[in-house]
A and B are shown apart, each in its own frame.
Chain A
């Protein structure tokens, strides 16, 4: 079964708005990563947060991790049409890397 579960499954916003995606997981992890996938392409790594970190920033991306709730969120600020893609969380528990089903983000110009 999948480890991470993203929420919502789909999100549609206007350019300039912020987009927030959530991820819940089931077991203990070493780290959690977020990936982006453009239609028909492979996944591209966005950001990694370790289990002892609570928040991390990278450009317009902000990731939080709450290990007590086994959840993470990805915030994309000031979204652009080019941010339209699917976003996946992946949990790394030292055995393998499991991905959720993803959130499909559409940013309307």
Chain B
């Protein structure tokens, strides 16, 4: 089992460019989440998908869109990147949200917007 795989690991974008961060899990989990981590801020929830076919906004959704392509894959898209989106992005998956199951995290995508 690979667990949660994120691609790419590093990316530099120019302001206004777009890109999609990919996340895939092979644990047959229902719930998948996208977080961003900034220094001193901990992890902030961007979007989540409680199950295949559903997505919901988290704490900081502005400037992002998501797609739950199938049960395995949950992508995060930046349509027009801004320097404020420079961050480390983490994807996580859970068997079932809110039922006391642990989260499994990917290794992160370090994004710099210049």
Contact = CB atoms under 8 A, between A and B. Distances in A.
A31 B42 contact: no
B4 to A, nearest CB: 8
Contacts of B92: 43, 97
Interface string A85-109: 0001010111111111110000000
A2 interface: yes
Interface residues of A, number: 29
B33 A102 contact: no
A42 B33 CA distance: 13
B104 A88 contact: no
A30 interface: yes
A96 to B, nearest CB: 6
B105 A88 contact: no
Given A30-B98, A43-B90, A97 B33 contact: yes
A43 B94 CA distance: 13
Interface string A73-84: 000000000000
